[in-house]
Amino acid sequence: MTSNAEKLYDLISNDSRRKQSLFLMALNNPKSALEKICEIGGELDIQVTKEEVIEYLENVDDEATKLWLIKARGGL
C-alpha cells in the first residue's frame, strides 16, 4: 500500500519547479521545507504530517533525496 508521504513525494519529485524551490528552502531552513511539503500535501488533498514525511524520506532509496537529507539533517 502506498503511503500519502510516498504519493506526495512522487508528485513533488516530478514537478521540477516545486522540487527546486523545496531544495533551496531546505538548504536555508529545513523545518520550513517540511512545513511547505505538508502545505503542498494539503493543497493536493494528500494529508501528511512532518513525522510521516521524515519517516518516508529516511527510508527512500534515492541518492538525491539522501543528499538532501544530509544537508537538511540539522533542522530535521
Q: What per-residue confidence (pLDDT) applies to 63? A: 77
Cα(42)–Cα(24) distance, integer angstroms: 21
Q: What DSSP string describes the chain?
A: ---HHHHHHHHHHT-HHHHHHHHHHHHH-HHHHHHHHHHHHHHTT----HHHHHHHHHH---HHHHHHHHHHGGG-
Q: What per-residue confidence (pLDDT) applies to 39? A: 96
User: Could you read off the pLDDT of 19-74 as tens digits, one per residue?
Assistant: 889 888 888 888 888 899 999 999 999 999 999 988 888 888 777 777 766 666 65
| Domain carrying residue 56 | 4-75
The structural domain count of the chain equals 1
- With beta carbons less than 8 A apart as the criterion, state whether 50 and 38 touch: yes
